[in-house]
Structure 1
């Protein structure tokens, strides 16, 4: 994979980016707990089709800088990183593709700065305008104190549990939230039982599915470990801003996302098990009037572009061709 790496100064911090190809800019925004490497199957197909493909480690992740304050990870700051990155790359506009947490960042950038966004693609997480996620004060009452987003609010607890052995955590979470989860009862909400930990709440897989290898896990773990005991503090601080994001994004209440858009999700994705998501999906065109596609991937879990790279790449290339 002929991918080039560099550091770019944006929005007051240093971001690491991986890049391949030339042409119209496509920014690939990863989610939790991943990094640029989660897009390894997208670089070559998109670059060969004539696009400049750039995947950053977003703030707090991998080789990128980790600001220390919780408030440094608010949604407007994350959008600011994308805006500044487009400019730092010498471009005027980009197509944004986001997965998991990267999807809210992509949706929010299209909402706040449509002048910079040629098109937006969300994998797994649909747009919940304006703050993109329900707040912990709401989800606590729906799912309880063990709901993972609520559990993450205490700074230092989940951070230490995950950083103690990144490979062990990654192996469990990547298989546990995939379409290959050996438990047979379909997608489920991630909850941490009282007395357990974020890592121990996920079973150790007997083997890895075909779409992920021990080498892949080692790459993720090695990149995360660059931040030592704070390997997951930055990434988890994104969750610790969900409540504050409600107020920060309130000026955009009532706005729609008006750029061309595509949404993709797997039938085994845990996001589909969350209350209100099926209803939100049924009304996507009210939020995203220029929705060019709503793609369902049977049997696919949460790690969309890694589990089903061929189908994701085909959908992306079709969407991009429509924009061109």
Structure 2
């Protein structure tokens, strides 16, 4: 089955001062929207395995390449990638379709945006499904300061901020190699203490584990990042402390029905007390690593559809 043939043709939609490249399917199911939010360094195409099952289940599927990705706008100013802008894009997308609310599903950074949608615009989130990245508690210290204390200067979140442009250039120079090294499964565990994790992946010539995508699928990602470079998407990381401040006065409790799916082999740990913050949550796990939609699409789709029913 060639997913390229099933993935919808995009349209550019003007929202919130930018243009988003949006892939849409199931227009016959108007009134039952589900918005799928990709992570880093991903692409709307990462949801290709979910489109047909969701359409057949009666959903209007809306998949934006979020700002900084694909053919969507890539503003220059770093602060235009803060959580107010990222969630504002999704609010404006709902307004474009004249939807009061929608189901939101996010993976990785996309999950972070979905959690934040529920915090900042709770009335627009009907239900949510998040993959791999649990709810992030807003602690006493800004997120990057906390990470620097725990993981050190070389941790890639911190490095992206302290040495702007350095990792960006290395990833840009090694786009294909970096993506091929990153999108693997059954590779030996690389702990968070690995420091220059992303730069090391971009430079590594020995592939570990097995690829999670075909060459045809890789080509979609490689071509997208060859166009944009990595700086716009890395700018999301450069707003973590700003986001911490922006969320200062928001109630941390999320009441929407929520499905959280963890990958058992993922390096991102579950949040033990997530129920304290998301009381209406169902927690599931799949025997996968981080690229959950790529590694176990059939099992994930079944889990999602059963939960939505």
Provide the secondary structure at the position in 2 that maps to 1:250: coil
Superposition misfits of 4+ residues, deviation over 6 angstroms = none
User: What's 1:162 paired with?
Assistant: 171
Of the three residues 266, 271, 279, the one matched with 2:268 is 271
Residue 206 of structure 1, CA deviation: 5.9
Is residue 26 of structure 1 aligned with residue 34 of structure 2? Answer: yes
User: What's 1:12 paired with?
Assistant: 17
Of the three residues 276, 283, 288, the one matched with 1:294 is 283
Per-residue CA deviations over 1:195-247 (Å, capped at 9, x if unaligned) read x93444656316743x31122111101012122xxx11110000000011111
User: What's 1:74 paired with?
Assistant: 82
User: What's 1:117 paired with?
Assistant: 125
Residue 317 of structure 1, CA deviation: 0.9
Contact 2:7–2:45, Cα closer than 8 Å, also in 1: no
After TM superposition, the score normalised by the length of structure 2 is: 0.91
Contact 2:36–2:104, Cα closer than 8 Å, also in 1: yes
Provide the secondary structure at the position in 2 that maps to 1:270: coil
Contact 1:173–1:202, Cα closer than 8 Å, also in 2: no
Q: How many residues get paired? A: 299
Contact 2:171–2:199, Cα closer than 8 Å, also in 1: no
1:224–1:290 Cα change, 3 Å: same
1:198–1:14 Cα change, 3 Å: farther
Gaps spanning 5+ residues in structure 1: where?
Answer: 273-277
Provide the secondary structure at the position in 2 that maps to 1:104: helix
Provide the secondary structure at the position in 1 that maps to 2:249: helix
Of the three residues 62, 66, 88, the one matched with 2:96 is 88
1:34-53 equivalences under 5 Å are: 34-53=42-61
User: What's 1:275 paired with?
Assistant: none
1:225-304 equivalences under 5 Å are: 225-227=226-228, 231-252=229-250, 254-272=251-269, 278=270, 281-291=271-281, 293-298=282-287, 300-304=288-292
Per-residue CA deviations over 1:273-297 (Å, capped at 9, x if unaligned) read xxxxx4xx22111111111x20111
Matches of 2:243 and 2:209, distance apart in 1: 39
1:246–1:215 Cα change, 3 Å: same
Contact 2:34–2:62, Cα closer than 8 Å, also in 1: yes
1:140–1:207 Cα change, 3 Å: closer
Matches of 2:127 and 2:89, distance apart in 1: 18
Contact 1:74–1:238, Cα closer than 8 Å, also in 2: yes
Matches of 2:66 and 2:296, distance apart in 1: 23
What is the alpha-carbon root mean square deviation over aligned residues? 2.1
Residue 90 of structure 1, CA deviation: 2.7
1:250–1:202 Cα change, 3 Å: farther
1:2–1:166 Cα change, 3 Å: closer
Per-residue CA deviations over 1:60-103 (Å, capped at 9, x if unaligned) read 01110101011011111111111111111232211000000000
Matches of 1:207 and 1:262, distance apart in 2: 29
Provide the secondary structure at the position in 2 that maps to 1:6: strand
